Amino acid sequence: MPELTAALRADYGKELKNPRLNVEVKSFAPTRIYVGGEVNNPGEFVDVGPTLTLSQAIARAGGVKMMTSDDNKVFIIRRGPGDVPQFLSTRYDAVMWAKDPSTDVRLAPYDVVYVPRSGAAEVYRFFYTNLLQFVPVSWGFSYVVNNNTGVIPVH
């Protein structure tokens, strides 16, 4: 705010003698953050005030999916100069387990946070979608009951 006050004072000084003014922020413009991937409630999150941190954005999205997310690497897509996308990576697990608070980065307006699927979840997805639909697997068992009258197979 001091920079804005000084700039306004200099500009008004051309028209007025010794202008006195105060700058007070009444409201912030809303910012939008997008969270996707392996979170419980992906979507767009609109916030007024300072932009969210990574952990705040993921909390707004309902947290990461515990069985399928790879919170070891979370990606942030940010638009840089000339609207060129920049890809950033951080370790969300370091925030969750209080190992390195510096990984809880402050997001910029219109950032996209993406939580990828874990390697184990990718293998399961591949197995489920590519193998199980072509190779029917029958899970079950057979046993024999002896009721003193003979052996009866049951399937």
Domain ranges of the chain: 26-131
Instruction: Name the CATH superfamily housing domain 26-131.
Output: Outer membrane lipoprotein wza domain like (3.10.560.10)
> How many CB atoms sit inside 10 A of residue 133's CB?
8
Average pLDDT, the chain: 83
pLDDT-derived band at 121 (thresholds 50, 70, 90) equals confident
Q: Which residue has the higher pLDDT, 35 or 144?
A: 35
- What is the pLDDT, as a whole number, of residue 148? 61
Distance of CA 45 to the CA centre of its chain: 11
What is the spatial distance between Cα 83 and Cα 89, in angstroms, rounded to a whole number? Answer: 19
Checking if the pLDDT of 134 tops 80, the result is no
pLDDT-derived band at 143 (thresholds 50, 70, 90) equals low
Checking if the pLDDT of 128 tops 80, the result is no
User: For residue 69, what are the CA distances in angstroms to 74, 81, 90, 119?
Assistant: 9, 31, 14, 9
Contact call for residues 86 and 78 (beta carbons, < 8 A): yes
